[in-house]
Structure 1
């Protein structure tokens, strides 16, 4: 069958979609773009915000409109959390956020029988980590390596624990095997990811920690870059930094979720740290790594956030000097404690705060990028775009150069100019090994 796959959401979703691509190809199916005519349209959905839900529904409707006779299959976090709403859509098959192989079995069965099917489980009853094949379509430069699923933080604004269940981890030897598979497939970089990566290993015998896993993966594939997904600040200890700083192929890029720079707001969010602990993580990373990129997420307009609290956040952002930030106005998410909290911030005020925070973030990003002018750095190139080749440094600085045939190559580049979101450079004469 011709199968078109559309993915919304996080890097874990991207990993799971890549795994489904590999499994579908192994079963003899053909993959086509989501905008083409297909026999099956598979939507791997997201539910982190109300906007994510809307995009998931729109994707189902677009697929049905494009090919009325095709099978439309919806899986992922949206139907897991909102099964009744999902059932109202014109999907032939509805699954959840687990057991991807079984879901592909159902696609083949429903395609043959044409009976509308709903297959949802309780995510808190799942036993163990679901192993899936690493990698996906040919031609990619960065491979996702999912090592953890589930979350038990239950932050006040977040629905994801209800969609993914408790923490389940891939054993270190399994992660090493998948890393070697990605290396053999020609990938130059591995992104280690999970729903709550900092919770890695708490369910495994001996309770190996994230540092143990990262050491094992980096040493197994010393010729590949290894990049970490989002981390909780409490993960970053002196021992964590000392051990990881000794790994030459670990990318010095750390995404530390912040959400607010005000202790009172963090407490209402039920985050498990305060600004002092967060700043300790920032200082440790800068002490142990050379020019690390520190990136973060920020939610503005959380229920009860006053202008004074927001100003505290702006000051804390500038104190931390982030390389890049993702800024989100608080999205009221049904089913979470924050949705029923008093003192909801008006949408206009949330938009204004998001704009002001974005101005601070942009200034910090420009300063960070400008600091790279004149530096010589290794760049992994991904694609040609607008007459330039685009790639990324270990710190995830986006670089554009003129050249030819650079796909999936790591080349040395001298940075010559900085823009608002990326830099420009020139290839050096020497070739990288």
Structure 2
């Protein structure tokens, strides 16, 4: 980030934030402002947000510095008090043009009072080969470890017509891969007239647009109905990559997390997916060191890596979030949490390495990303390849795996 740059947005956290950051970038235009679009999924995420704020102030001492996103929504007073911060803008306000012409030091409303969401989406995603489209926001569930509903509010969906129009415009602008995003993506629809489902939305997108590649962000496996399952396994424009919000692999811990699925249901779902479409790659979010977790519980979660063939694992060391039920449960020593996270990452790395090695000799269609010598295959494996034009789809034959990536040459 150069000292002469203007209108800079630093996006932390999830793909939904990334999608919203594109809209913010459009709204701030060329104003001399730096926006930190923050994350609050863990205490570490909040720490990284504060670190990004301090770094941005050092690098842009004369710019207006605005903090928004989940961390700002949940603790507006704390961020307003930081000497580096000029303004704090809430999650609902950050997508409104008036928020970026206001001089109020804090614009943060009660997120639980927000009842609608709209396709506040940028005209294009010029900095990214793929485009992210928000179709849902908020969450009605209350997992005991999670504070995100307090940052995002209750579940609300974008009307299908608005989603289709936005995707059609993005495809016309040259985007060949679209990622549907949301806080609880599989809860899409019940708040809309006729209560459409995520599967119905996807069918409408595929029927009414020319999108070539459609990818989904994190899914709650218990909510994958027959229509969505059929799309994931039979529709070739749906990419063979399913990321599941699993969180743990032990039934007692899942119950204490207030998750709605069992270990057996997760394993059975993955087995069904792989039988129907063997090339599907499974990703998952997993928490290490949840309160009360004994070694036997941790071992069950480690085994889930293999039992669910998880090759894109996101491992989160548990951190107590203020106001959540899990924060009041008996906590594990930090050293134990760190060790269990490391053990999970080691298991995940072994599984991923074996999967990458098995990709040798396969032919993959890779969406080329900046700077033109890398990209992701449909199964979300990162591929290094000879230089291509960014945004094109290259057909490559995988020669080998190296340093956690695939090396491909023109097929």
TM-score interval, smaller chain: over 0.9
- What is the CA distance between 1:236 and its match in structure 2? 2.4
1:246 and 1:319 mapped to 2: Cα distance?
Answer: 23
Is structure 2 residue 251 aligned with structure 1 residue 257? no
**Equivalent of 2:222 in 234, 241, 250:** 234
Q: Paired residue for 1:77?
A: 70
- What is the CA distance between 1:62 and its match in structure 2? 2.7
Q: Paired residue for 1:205?
A: 193
1:427 and 1:251 mapped to 2: Cα distance?
Answer: 21
Unaligned runs of 5+ in 1: 31-38, 111-115, 429-433
Q: Paired residue for 2:264?
A: 276
1:172 and 1:107 mapped to 2: Cα distance?
Answer: 28
Secondary structure at the aligned position of 1:258 is classed as strand
1:140 and 1:47 mapped to 2: Cα distance?
Answer: 24
Is structure 2 residue 358 aligned with structure 1 residue 371? yes
2:159 and 2:358 mapped to 1: Cα distance?
Answer: 40
Q: Paired residue for 1:93?
A: 87
**Equivalent of 2:7 in 3, 10, 35:** 3
- What is the CA distance between 1:265 and its match in structure 2? 0.6
Q: Deviations over 1:193-236 (max 9, x none)?
A: 10110110011111100101111112233342000000001122
1:65 and 1:378 mapped to 2: Cα distance?
Answer: 42
**Equivalent of 2:23 in 19, 25, 28:** 19
Q: Paired residue for 2:396?
A: 413
Q: Paired residue for 2:304?
A: 316
RMSD: 1.8
- What is the CA distance between 1:153 and its match in structure 2? 1.2
Is structure 2 residue 135 aligned with structure 1 residue 158? no
- What is the CA distance between 1:59 and its match in structure 2? 2.4
Q: Paired residue for 2:343?
A: 356
CA contact (8 A) 1:226 1:251 kept: yes
Aligned length: 406
> Residues 104-183 of structure 1: matches in 2 within 5 Å?
104-110=97-103, 117-183=105-171
1:171 and 1:277 mapped to 2: Cα distance?
Answer: 31
Secondary structure at the aligned position of 1:256 is classed as strand
Quickly say closer, same or farther: Cα 1:68–1:315, change in 2 above 3 A.
closer
CA contact (8 A) 1:218 1:250 kept: no
Runs (4+) off by over 4 Å:
none
Unaligned runs of 5+ in 2: none
Secondary structure at the aligned position of 2:179 is classed as strand
| TM-score normalised by length of structure 2 | 0.94
CA contact (8 A) 1:93 1:107 kept: no
Is structure 2 residue 369 aligned with structure 1 residue 382? yes
Q: Paired residue for 2:50?
A: 57
Quickly say closer, same or farther: Cα 1:302–1:71, change in 2 above 3 A.
same
Secondary structure at the aligned position of 2:37 is classed as strand
Q: Deviations over 1:239-275 (max 9, x none)?
A: 4212443422110100011111000111111111111
Secondary structure at the aligned position of 2:247 is classed as coil
Q: Paired residue for 2:41?
A: 48
| TM-score normalised by length of structure 1 | 0.89
1:101 and 1:400 mapped to 2: Cα distance?
Answer: 35
